[in-house]
Amino acid sequence: MLELLTWAVGGILWVLSGMHLYWVFGGQKGAKAAIPSTGTALLFEPFFSSFHSYGAGLLSCVFILRSIGDFKWVGFFKRKKGTVFAKWDTVLYSPLCFLLGTAILIIMFLSTA
């Protein structure tokens, strides 16, 4: 039963994320039903910049801090090496987190310029 519930929630979130991506890339279908309005005007703009900036900044920090790590088990400066995870963390996970974090920062700064 728990597995079924997990798959159902995951499936719903997957569909909802797809709808949001559709809207982010300019899709209009269903947008009027998803944003509160007075009937003629939207009550808010869904992509207001201050939330976008703070959210992007926070996400960027999380990824960059993850790439730096805890100085023991994860990140570029980990001391514990020699495990399968440590190898993949050095080769893939930490560089990917750093790349994502810096890319988000670049996007954030270039979009506000």
Q: How confident is the model at residue 67 (pLDDT cuts 50, 70, 90)?
A: very high
d(CA 50, CA 16): 23
The CB density around residue 48, as the number of other CB atoms within 10 Å, is: 9
More reliable by pLDDT, 12 or 54: 12
- Domain ranges within the chain, ordered by starting residue: 1-47, 48-113
Q: What is the pTM of this model?
A: 0.61
